[in-house]
Amino acid sequence: MQRIGTLGGIFPVNPNTIYPLLRRLEERGFIRGELDESTKRGTTVYHITVPGEERLEIIKTNLRPYLTNLIAAMQRLRREMYGETS
């Protein structure tokens, strides 16, 4: 959640959303959680699995054209709203 929070504040970080998502990803075999007993609270550390890496590559491939179009649209919107040239 800390890492997501550092992404420019555009993704809301809510434990009520994150933990169910982590459980579903673990149930599907995309991640695995390990209890880190070196912390007082017994923090669970999640690691991506081989099937998770494979699924991530598929997602990244499918998402790239969408992100390219989204970035271009946002740049056009910014230019139109603020009269910027770059």
pTM check: above 0.75: no
Q: What is the pLDDT of residue 20?
A: 94
User: Would you state the torsion angle of the CA atoms of residues 52, 61, 22, 2, taken in this order, to the nearest 10 degrees?
Assistant: 120
Q: What is the pLDDT of residue 86?
A: 58
Q: What is the pLDDT of residue 38?
A: 84
Q: How far apart are CA 86 and CA 83, in angstroms?
A: 9
Q: What is the pLDDT of residue 75?
A: 93
- Mean pLDDT by groups of 10 residues along the chain of 86 residues: 76 84 97 88 91 98 96 94 80
Q: What is the pLDDT of residue 67?
A: 95
